[in-house]
Amino acid sequence: MRDIAPNIGVVQAVAPAVLSATNTSAAIDLLGFESAAVVINTGAIVSDGDFTAKLQESDTTTSGDFADVDAAHLVGSLPDTLEASSVYKQGYIGNKRYIRTVITKNGGTSIAAGAVIVKGHPAEAPVA
């Protein structure tokens, strides 16, 4: 077996929490990496919670510069509605320096969720 850990960077985008409103993560810097993926982990949903998730990208950390990632720069898809107690992943193959996650509340009360960005294909390995 090969060890993957020295070849990835992992950044917490959304700390696991009960979300009762839309959550937009901080900008995640992809400098030094050639690929990335988002992993979203959900727990309980209260009162028919309807939440969606997406990735946004930008060349800067300025919030207003972020835009939704074009489908051509995504590998796989996230569901139309996040389900309870599930794990989802989506690859990013765009060329922007920064990405961020957005978990949007469309209805209901809350969802327990967290998100991690996994950065791959580092320019220098092993990754600390």
| Residues 94 and 39: beta-carbon distance below 8 Å | no
Widest pairwise Cα distance in the chain: 46
Which pTM does this prediction carry? 0.94
Q: For the chain, how many structural domains are there in total?
A: 1
pLDDT tens string 61-120: 999 999 999 999 999 999 999 999 999 999 999 999 999 999 999 999 999 999 999 999
When pLDDT is averaged across residues 16-40 and rounded to a whole number, the result is: 97
Is 106 inside a domain boundary? yes
In a domain, 38, yes or no: yes
1 within some domain: no
CB burial of 10-19 (b: ≥16 within 10 Å; e: otherwise) equals ebebbeeeeb
Q: How confident is the model at residue 2 (pLDDT cuts 50, 70, 90)?
A: confident
Output the pLDDT for position 120: 96
Q: Which domain holds residue 25?
A: 10-122
